Chains A and B, each alone.
Chain A
Amino acid sequence: MKPHNLLRRARALPPSGKIGLALVTFWIIAAIVGPFVTPYPPGSFVSEEVFAGASSRFWFGSDYLGRDVLSRLLTGARFTVGLSAIAVTLAVAAGTGLALTAAVGPRWLDELLSRAMDTLISIPSKIFALVLVAAFGSSLVLLTLIVSITYVPGNFRIARSLAVGLARLDYVEVARARGEGRLHIALVEMLPNMIRPLFADIGLRFVFIVLLLSGLSFLGLGLQPPDADLGSLVRENVSGLGEGALAILVPATAIASLTVGVNLLIDAATQGGKG
């Protein structure tokens, strides 16, 4: 899509969609440049006071060890946004890839894949993620894989129903009659027509993944110190809950602004698509 088209579409969004777009853009930029613009090193103890309130030196106050909350937030945002983006890419690639395989492959393969995914989908996602973390631990790579695997079945289900619908259409029949291979039919004929309808599902799954990742880190089962995503920031400052510390409120609100932003953007964008 050409840039000025994108701009026109952004202008046409309802106010809620514009707010969503602004929040999403903000967090993407924060994830990219955040670690370079931190006022203090995120790990250093810069305030004598713990759980300090907002001040001109520390915009969002200090945390339970007297570290700068803003600096830690800017570093944590990269983990939350970055890992979630990688995880959602993997989940959608795997889910949609398997869905295409099921749609163009032999019938028994479709049955097998669908049965397997139906089984996985009936394990509640947070429970599934906990079992995987217990079995494999949660290094950075494993954690990303675990949250993406958790959301493969959901994407598979949507992508498969799209792909099976497309496989029955005439133009795919024509391609098959032309003697195109299954790989060509799946990737060249079907996949391009699935991307738009999948867009909403990708956004929704990104939200789920952000919430799952932050939830795991909040429980102490996600990112391990010294790495800290936004969920870890909430966890480590939970002792400040009783005094209403900014250090717990700020990262929690940050996560919410990201997920709510994505939700508002998808909702506005998909409604615009329907006319």
Chain B
Amino acid sequence: MSAAAVSSRWRGPLRLIARRIGLALLTLLLVSMVIFTISGLLPGDAAQEVLGQTATPEQVAALRHEMGLDQPGPVRYVRWLQGMMVGDPGQSLVANKPVADIISERLPNTLTLAALSALVSLPFAFLIGIASAIARGRKLDRALNILTLSMVALPEFLVATIAVLIFAVELLWLPSIALVPQDPSFGQFVRAYAMPVMVLAVGVVAQLGRMIRAAIIAELDRPYVEMARLKGVSQNRLIVRHVLPNAVGPIVNAMALSLSYLFGGAIIVETIFSYPGLASLMVNAVTSRDMPLLQACAMIFCATYLLLVLIADTIAILANPRLRQG
């Protein structure tokens, strides 16, 4: 096949992907406006807050000028956005350090936690999803349905509490807070991460398992499955070779959604296990009303979410042969 033929074959999908990237960037821009408007423009005067009630009006005015608060809203937004884009979201009001420094300390921890939780959850989610899709309507499917329905509704702090009671209090296997020492050995690493990962995985496994089941069942109802069955294809081969490749689109989408759930769950899990990640940092920023830090954390979470959805969309488009011509 010549290069020209390849490029024409992929022109449709590539144009679609370019559109999705543009849309994601537009959404991110709109999200940044929402976040800045809520947290930067609406609340009271940050300068007044930093100085406290005793400050003279002159002091407040001077600090307002220094912080750029006397500029009109749109100017402040553009300045803030420029800072964000070059990786300098400003100065943390409470820690008196650049926000970028604080975040670069914490971000790897949250990414590690999220990656480990995803890695642990995926096999279980696929197992539950595929098993209940195959057993659709039968006892196993109904039992798994009730199990996952209950698991998605559990608050993370209950799962965490029960995990601590079992593994830290009764069995004394694991520490009840997740302190990762410098240069941990493999054993220390596993012990520190076991419980936070377990708690996060409960929600992800249940949610993702349900979505995988739904995606596979939607495919099982299609005529080509009937055709394959009539040809005498075995159940396992049918699922692995016929159904799963066709369900790639909805499944990667479900994966993106449940990975973004990880960030929400991380807020509670990082707090309860005193884990030094981005989510607990954001909670501290809310408590201390440290807006520059809060805005940066919020933007990172939103950007990550949009990126995950974009990657899922891209995979779904590339995996769909109907979009390829020629």
Contact = CB atoms under 8 A, between A and B. Distances in A.
A95 B250 CA distance: 26
Interface size class of B (residues with CB under 8 A): 35 or more
Nearest to A230: B155
A240 to B, nearest CB: 10
A267 B145 contact: yes
A263 B146 CA distance: 9
B291 A241 contact: no
A218 interface: yes
A22 B11 CA distance: 57
| Interface majority SS (helix, strand, loop, mixed), chain B | helix
Interface string A246-275: 001100110110011011100100000000
Interface in B280-302: 282-283, 285-287, 289, 291, 294-295, 297-298, 301-302
Contacts of B27: 118-119, 122
Given A130-B282, A130-B286, A219-B271, A135 B161 contact: no
A242 B158 contact: no
Interface string B154-188: 11111001101100111000001000000000000
B287 A220 contact: yes
A16 B162 CA distance: 23
Nearest to B282: A130
A120 B34 CA distance: 8
| Interface majority SS (helix, strand, loop, mixed), chain A | helix
A256 B154 contact: yes
Contacts of B154: 256, 259-260
B153 A252 contact: no
Contacts of B289: 134
Interface in B290-321: 291, 294-295, 297-298, 301-302, 305-306, 309
A126 B169 contact: no
A136 interface: yes
A124 B267 CA distance: 12
B131 interface: no
Interface stretch (A33-41, A159-167, A207-215): A207-215
Interface string B231-274: 00000000000000000000000000000100110011001100
A248 B161 contact: yes
11 contacts: A118-B27, A123-B35, A124-B263, A125-B264, A127-B301, A133-B286, A134-B289, A215-B267, A221-B283, A238-B272, A249-B162
Interface of A: 16, 115, 118-120, 122-127, 130-136, 207, 211, 214-215, 218-221, 231, 234, 238, 241-244, 248-249, 252-253, 255-256, 259-260, 262-264, 267
Given A123-B31, A131-B39, 11 more contacts: A115-B30, A123-B34, A127-B282, A135-B42, A218-B268, A218-B271, A220-B287, A252-B161, A260-B150, A260-B154, A262-B153
